[in-house]
Structure 1
Amino acid sequence: MRAVRFASFGDPAKVLRVEDCPLTAPGPGQVLLRMLVRPINPSDLFTIRGQYGRLPRLPATPGMEGAGRIESLGPGVHGFEVGQLVVPLGVGGTWQEYLVANAAALIPVPAGFSERDAAMLIVNPTSAWLLLHEVLCIDPGAWLVQNAANSAVGRFIIRLARRSGVHTINIVRRRELSEELLAEGADVVLCERDPDLLDQIAQIVGARGVRYALDSVAGVSGSRLIQALGQGGQMVVFGAISRQPLSIDPSALIFRNIKLHGWWLAEWFQNANPSQVMDLLATLQPLVADGTLRAPIAAEYGLEEVHQAIAAAEQSERNGKILLVN
């Protein structure tokens, strides 16, 4: 079978190889999946570069998300059938044709879900829902500012916030995205490059400033969000796609009582009990089905085109997810 592999951490263009690997039969309590669709997420690229919070033993196959169909069942597996579409939860190495996974880690995909919707069910929809409704717990009528608003999570935040009566200020790098995001439910769309960005935000929300902020960029962009927060405001950092550090004025923490903390989806899944996970997915599934949490797809590539796929995934101009398909 074909598998994307890397034997050292580094630039994906240099360390990734497509290799022929032996096919492993499932053992007791396991299933063999034929993987069909895998999104490329920032966490995958950080892992390949050796910059993620949890790194695999090398050599390794990347990929933290995807969907596949059951090819065969190992001894003692019940409740699943050959050909069934499933999502492996917390199972790394999805960037290969076949994957052996514990049956206990599989989530059956509801009828009516496409393979592509199923493949993108875990990372982005869960992040958006949890950040908005569990981490920040934003009340209706409050203002939230976020950067990277054109990302999949950013768009989901916009749609969920609109449903919940939360107002959003959405910061993007390309001004031409404004009409598109306004049509999705954004209250305001501003351009990252505007020198008076903070003044524009202040004119929208008033002298009290913004109460909530979501940062997935870090660097200059995230540092500016901290400045936009008012008294008692809080910002959650859940990504660092700029790969640059935040710069924080201590007076914001001292005199404005700003609260700044990080959040990691993998840690949430690690600490959640099975009923919490199933309740969350049950909440999200109808929102994926009705399109609220369905991400646009920018392009699809085969496993053998992984280098082209990663180059496309790292383009800031793209609109939508990049998928690896068989």
Structure 2
Amino acid sequence: MTSLPASMTAIAIREPGGPEVLEPTTRPVPQPGPGEVLVRVAAAGVNRPDVLQRMGFYPPPPGASDLPGLEIAGTVVATAPGGDPELLGQAVCALVAGGGYAEYCVAPAGSCLPVPPGFSMEEAAALPETVFTVWHNLFERAWVAEGETVLIHGGTSGIGTTAIGLSKLFGIRTVVTCGSAEKCDAARALGADLAVDYSSEDYVEAVKGFTGGKGVNAVLDMVGGDYLPRNLACLADDGRHVTIAFQRGAKVEIDIADVMRRRLTLTGSTLRARSADFKAALADEIHGTLWPRLAEGGWKPAMDESFPLAEASAAHARMQAGAHVGKIVLRVG
């Protein structure tokens, strides 16, 4: 590490608040510990959890960097003592527990994946957080399979566009909800089989019409609150409901008798605080199952807008405005 600089530019959260509290600062270049690598960051993804952390609602887990940023792409420039020297110089994208909004970031070696052929660093940086989240929740927790139909809320968000793309790749039909006719058009262009404008349509009735009254096999929900009983009404018998966020509240009343009668499964998860071993196992499965399809040109993430690292506040303002379609990234190096 002697050839590396002692300090770097990073984006810190001055205090909980709006996008303006994100400010460039100088930090020491972090040192990789056992099982970790140091990545010279080329691009970093911007995600809803970053916004929540900035607002003071989503603190980093113990031991994680206080800097925001959960996904990066770049080049491995150092390993911990005894680390695999073959990793040096490799172009990788990585899921991290924090610290991505910086020129250098420490990442668990097990959470690093090679940048797929034909992907830019910005496209690669848009992969880890949403791909890991969608893969685990839609394919592992909801165990969706070819020929099934899923309901995805937030159809033009990073999670939503990724869920559309991966579902299409594996032969799963998608119904998505969006907040405007324009966003519905964008979702259909990305491969959604049905896009419902929730500002003017009842998505429960739309789902019933689309499925001939049977309902969808699974729901991927980041809305929560009063959406939950409506989501359950959308499910077919033996349907699976997965919660990954609760923008409309964490508490709601549901009819347990209906859950029992129709054999519904309600589950959910968070990813950031999961162990390095869990994330490494998830990365290994994704690498073996999804990465070969990406190498064949099967799918790329929907990209919205990129901003220089120093303009992280503008990136957050765009995300909060809700006009984006797909992933927002920061250009770092």
Q: Which interval holds the TM-score relative to the shorter structure?
A: 0.7 to 0.9
Equivalent residue for 1:5? 12
The aligned residue for residue 5 of structure 2 is none
In structure 2, the residue matched to 1:84 is 90
**1:113/1:318 CA distance change after superposition, 3 Å:** closer
Deviations 1:190-249 (A, max 9, x none): 111235432232222234433321112223444422232244432111123x35335333
**Could you say what secondary structure the match of 1:66 adopts?**
strand
2:232 alignment partner AA:
I
Deviation of residue 103 (structure 1)?
Answer: 5.2
Any stretches of 5+ residues in structure 1 without a counterpart?
Answer: none
Q: In structure 1, what is the Cα distance between the partners aligned to 2:258 and 2:250?
A: 17
Structure 2 counterpart of 1:97: 103
* Among candidates 34, 41, 46, match of residue 40 of structure 1: 46
Q: Residue 291 and residue 147 in structure 1: after superposition, are their counterparts in 2 closer, same or farther (change >3 A)?
A: farther
Look up the match of 2:310: 304
Superposed, 1:145-294 pairs within 5 Å as 145-240=151-246, 242-245=247-250, 247-250=252-255, 252-253=258-259, 255-266=261-272, 270=276, 272=278, 274=280, 277-294=283-300
Partner in structure 1 of residue 25 of structure 2: 19
Q: What per-residue deviation string (whole Å, max 9, x for no partner) do you get for residues 267-304 of structure 1?
A: 66645384553232232223334454422222111222
AA partner of residue 103 (structure 2):
E
With over 3 angstroms needed to count, the CA separation of the structure-2 counterparts of 1:59 and 1:228, relative to structure 1, is: closer
Code of the residue aligned with 1:70 in structure 2: it is V
Q: Distance in 2 between matches of 1:129 and 1:59?
A: 25
Residue 322 of structure 1: aligned partner:
328
Is the alpha carbon distance of 1:19 and 1:273 closer, same or farther for their aligned partners in structure 2, counting shifts above 3 Å?
A: closer
* Aligned 8 A contact 2:218 2:235 in 1: yes
SS of the aligned residue for 1:61 comes to coil
Range 194-203 or range 169-178, more displaced:
194-203
**After superposition, where does 1:53-92 map in structure 2 within 5 Å?**
54-55=60-61, 60-72=66-78, 75-80=81-86, 83-92=89-98
C-alpha spacing 1:223/1:305, structure 2 compared with 1 (3 Å): farther
After superposition, the C-alpha distances for 1:84-115 in whole angstroms (9 at most, x for unaligned) are 32234435211111234565664443554421
Identity of aligned residues (%): 27
Is the Cα–Cα contact under 8 Å of residues 29 and 103 in structure 1 kept in the other structure? yes
Q: Which amino acid aligns with 1:159?
A: G
Deviation at residue 259 of structure 1 after TM alignment: 2.7
Pairwise CA distance, 1:66: 0.4
Q: Distance in 2 between the 1:196 and 1:28 partners?
A: 52
Give structure 2 stretches of 5+ with no counterpart. Answer: 1-7
Alpha-carbon distance change, 60 to 270 in structure 1, aligned in 2, over 3 angstroms:
closer
Aligned pair in 2 of structure 1 residues 291, 120: CA closer, same or farther (>3 Å)?
farther
For CA contacts below 8 A with separation 6 or more, give which structure has more relative contact order: 2
Tell me the TM-score normalised to structure 1 length: 0.83
Q: Deviations over 1:24-61 (max 9, x none)?
A: 56678765432110010112222333433754579821
